[in-house]
Amino acid sequence: ATYNKHTKVAVKTMKPGSMSVDAFLEEANLMKTLQHDKLVKLHAVVTREEPIYIITEFMEKGSLLDFLKSEDGHKQPLPKLIDFSAQIAEGMAFIEKRNYIHRDLRAANILVSAMLACKIADFGLARVIEDNEYTAREGAKFPIKWTAPEAIYYGSFTIKSDVWSFGILLTEIITYGRIPYPGMSSAEVIRALEHGYRMPRTENCPEELYDVMTRCWKTKPEDRPTFEYMQSILEDFFTATESQYQQQ
């Protein structure tokens, strides 16, 4: 679709029954207050009649998950994958600083531009944290394989549960879109995590990146790093890997 005759945009509609009008408008207002280069930009909300439309910036390459699985995605070298990770950490560091949480951080909810900029999308589940913690409403569905144990067991979502999800997202990036915990059901994952299981490092995953993942998966939320810290680590790692690649 086009907006103002020349801006290419994405249009999201609210399907009746999928979310209450109030919740939908809350999402829109949230997106308006959260403006950052690494977050998908909200242009407008059309509420005259149902369905309601949310008009956001258009991201040519679609979701990061689809991009990673594509032929073009498979051509991306390690430094680019680290760059994607650093960009997402930057966007999440902004959300962290603003005291928000995302609650559904995974490659399917990151969008990619023609210039391979990554932007965080779908604040459908994001909520302002008032007391630092957001307890899931009964019956709220969330993707188990990306969800921190304390959020699965107690419905306790914080920026630290987003950090756990970011660790899972890093596995999606380094494997070009593989489903986390391959071959395991959600129930098996929950049981394994209880016994201290964590996804092993894949062959092409640098030790430094795996170290970031395992820090994200610390059992105690307070032991997990901040997004601000991970942004600086990943940006430095990107610079280092890029210069290594150029020397080869």
Q: Which fold has domain 62-247?
A: Transferase(Phosphotransferase); domain 1 (1.10.510)
User: Whole-prediction pTM value?
Assistant: 0.88
pLDDT in tens, 77-135: 999 999 999 999 999 999 999 998 998 999 999 999 999 999 999 765 555 444 445 45
Of the candidates 173, 44, 54, the residue with the CA atom closest to the CA atom of residue 118: 173
Neighbours of 185 (CB within 10 A): 11
pLDDT tens per residue across span 175-187: 999 999 999 999 9
SS3 171: helix
User: Under a CB-based contact definition with an 8 Å cutoff, are residues 241 and 206 in contact?
Assistant: yes
Residues 223, 225: Cα–Cα separation, whole Å: 7
State the Cα angle at 180 between 119 and 88, rounded to 5°: 20
Q: How far apart are alpha carbons 210 and 215 in whole angstroms?
A: 9
Known catalytic membership, residue 37? no
The domains of the chain are located at 2-57, 62-247
CA distance 67 to 62: 7
Q: Name the class of domain 2-57.
A: alpha beta
Q: Which of 22, 37, 66, 104 is catalytic?
A: 104
Instruction: HSE, CB side, 13 Å, CA atoms: give it for residue 167.
Output: 28
HEC assignment per residue over 31-48: HHHCCCCCECCEEEEECC
Residues of the chain scoring pLDDT < 50: 128-132, 134, 137-140
